[in-house]
Structure 1
Amino acid sequence: MTVTTAIITGANTGLGFECARALLESDPDRHVLLAVRDIERGAAAAARLGHPGRITVGELDLASLRSVRDFADTVPGLDVPPVTGLVCNAGLQLVTGAQTTADGYEMTWGVNHLGHFALVRQLLDALTVPARIVVVSSGTHDPDKFTGMPAPQYNSPEELLRPPAGGLTGEEGRRRYSTSKLCNMLFSYELDRRLGHGARGITVNAFDPGLMPGSGLARDYGGVQRLAWRLLMPALRMLPNVNSTRRSGANLAALVADPALEGITGTYFEGTRRIRSSRDSYDEARATDLWQVSERLVAEVG
């Protein structure tokens, strides 16, 4: 078999780490590139994963468009097998303050959407076809689902560029998160359209890992909320689409490597099931607008 590489953002912990583990354990011909903000933590994650010689660690800060560009520029020169997989996994959820990226954009949207948009655009030519791109979204993007999260509020990209006056409240922070996950869906479908629905040899799919107690996504919550997340949420695993990070990581890895999914593109997966995403996620006018604004912002960095 041909040895190939999958790039995974945010791969030093949580879902990304478990995706890397599943890829390495299921396929001896798979190499993984852990794209992480902190090189030391990335190296520690690589050591925990084992499989020496099959893991490379690269520095990538999605909150800096220059860092994204620098990472993308280094990939073609790395001593790794051909890159055929790109997993846009890293994400965060902020519920307090008014944090911004290095480029001055609201942090949740800047990392969850804009950083990944820039990464994909700048890595397209580095992919060896047939290739697969997987964007990790969330069921929280769909207001018709009960997720316990506020419904997305998306009118225009410009409304998402800056933190609200006075900073985030818990409600607004969670809404910014669910809205960023809607942006992930709009981006995935628009990217698939622009790549000719697989005609260029690159498939694009979106993934809902479900609720994952212990994933670290609630690290910005208050003490009581973090305690509830850590201690009480595991009891909910009997409910639909509540998974361990290991199970969701294996499901995510399948979208990258399962031969049965070859050629499948423009699809939304809830775990291993293909399902419809929210009504707003299929709005092509919104997707085009989001693409054009994102493209302009990335171009401004030079």
Structure 2
Amino acid sequence: MQDPTQASKTVIITGSTSGLGYYCAEAIARSGQDWHIIIASHNLSRVEEAVRTLMAETEYSNIEGMALDLASLASVRQFAQDFITGERPPLQAIVCNAGIQIVSDTRYTEDGFEMTFGVNHLGHFLLVNLLLPQMSDRSRIVFVSSDVHNPDANTGMPNPQYQDAKLLAFPDNNDNDTDIGNTGRGRYTTSKLCNILCTYELSRRLQKQQSNITVNAFNPGLMLDTKLARDYSEAELSALITTTSQSVMENARDSKAMGSALARLILDSSLNQVTGKYFDGLEEIQSSAESYDEKKASELWESSARLIELSPKEATLLN
């Protein structure tokens, strides 16, 4: 770990050993704003390699790697404890970037939750709740979502199907036998809807407490140079490309450029009081109609807290 006295504030970026999260970290390192950057991911060897590469490429030394497995509630709690007990600058930003998409079968987290929902939503939900008391005034939280949450975006992906959080955590596998690929893609789009529902609900709860912490969601768009589709077979990937509209394919984005756009939500002083919004790259736009359903957002929040057994001490925003 580098000397934290060289920085004035800390940012945690999940899933930042490559792709979008890595380039977000790179942009922050080059910003000249004296951040202590934490690269958080489950593969510690890749974390350490990413830290070394970032330091070399940016000539910025205040970068630290920490192990964080979002598929394990125990790992998330250990990460939070290690952060709290360490000597670092005040926590001023969390970028919930890590995400997976599983289309080959149904997998489960260490705690028995369906993997896509467990990692993309529940792991981040716990992480943010545990670290909220550590966040300084005017801190920022960003959830990386996707335009696949929106049926009107014509992404070629199945529409999200949100009923309740418990069903997402413990799906009925009887409907998975005929087309697990389509089911897996649907779980992914639904998890991305959950990211936005969680963003808006957290923003509302913080405003109710008159907190100056802001929470926004970010859509990087289709990026062909990431590892998100690593669980796809060649046939499945070909089918996805075939069903994706030509306009979406033509407007595919570069992960380095989107990493800079994501970093902007942390760095830009003009966004100091912007909260509960959805950004498509650099542009603030409307998310799907369903994402503004406050009843669903509240149900997701309350049910998620029960699923991960958030203690009264941890649940500072439960009520």
Aligned to 2:24: 19
Question: Which deviates further from its counterpart, 101-110 or 53-62?
Answer: 53-62
1:208–1:270 Cα contact (<8 Å) kept: yes
Tell me, yes or no, if structure 1 residue 256 matches structure 2 residue 261: no
Task: Quote the offset at 1:80 in angstroms.
Answer: 2.4
How far the C-alpha of 1:97 sits from its partner, in A, is 1.3
Distance 2:290 2:100 in 1: 22
Return the match for 1:39 from 28, 39, 44.
44
Residue matched to 1:65: 73
Q: What CA deviation, in whole Å up to 9, does each residue of 1:218-271 have, x standing for no partner? A: 0000034458989xx9x988834x211101100000001111211111100000
1:62-211 alignment, distance < 5 Å: 62-165=70-173, 167=176, 169-196=180-207, 199-211=210-222
- How far 1:26 sits from its partner (Å)? 1.8
- 1:293 matched to 2:267? The reply is no
Superimposed CA distance per residue, residues 68-94 of structure 1 (whole angstroms, 9 cap, x where no aligned partner)? 111111112223222101000000000
Amino acid at match of 2:220: P
The separation in 1 between residues aligned to 2:8 and 2:283, in whole angstroms, is: 28
For residues 288 and 239 of structure 2, the distance between their equivalents in structure 1, rounded to whole angstroms, comes to 29
CA–CA distance in structure 1, aligned partners of residues 27 and 75 of structure 2: 27
**Would you say the 8 A contact 2:105–2:184 is kept in 1?**
no
Q: 1:221 is matched with which residue?
A: 232
**CA shift at 1:39, angstroms?**
1.2
Give the letter for the 2:285 counterpart.
I
Alignment CA distance shift 1:223-1:258 (3 Å): same
Structure 2 gap ranges (5+)? 1-5, 315-319
Q: How many residues are matched?
A: 298
> For residues 106 and 237 of structure 2, what CA distance do their matches in structure 1 show?
20
From the superposition, tell whether residues 58 and 39 of structure 1 become closer, same or farther in structure 2 (CA, over 3 Å). Answer: same
For residue 182 of structure 1, report the CA deviation from its aligned partner. Answer: 0.5
- Given that 2:7 and 2:36 are in contact with CA atoms closer than 8 Å, whether structure 1 keeps it comes out as no
Report the TM-score, using the length of structure 1 for normalisation.
Answer: 0.92
- Aligned in 2, Cα 1:132/1:65: closer, same or farther, shift over 3 Å? same
CA contact (8 A) 2:278 2:285 kept: yes
Q: Secondary structure at the match of 2:153?
A: coil
CA RMSD of aligned residues (A): 2.3
Q: Name stretches of at least 5 consecutive residues in structure 1 with no aligned partner.
A: none
The one-letter code of the counterpart of 2:146 is S
Question: Deviating runs (4+, > 6 A) in structure 1?
Answer: 227-230, 235-238
Identity %: 45
- 2:156–2:240 contact (8 Å) kept in structure 1: no
Match of 2:13 in 1: 8
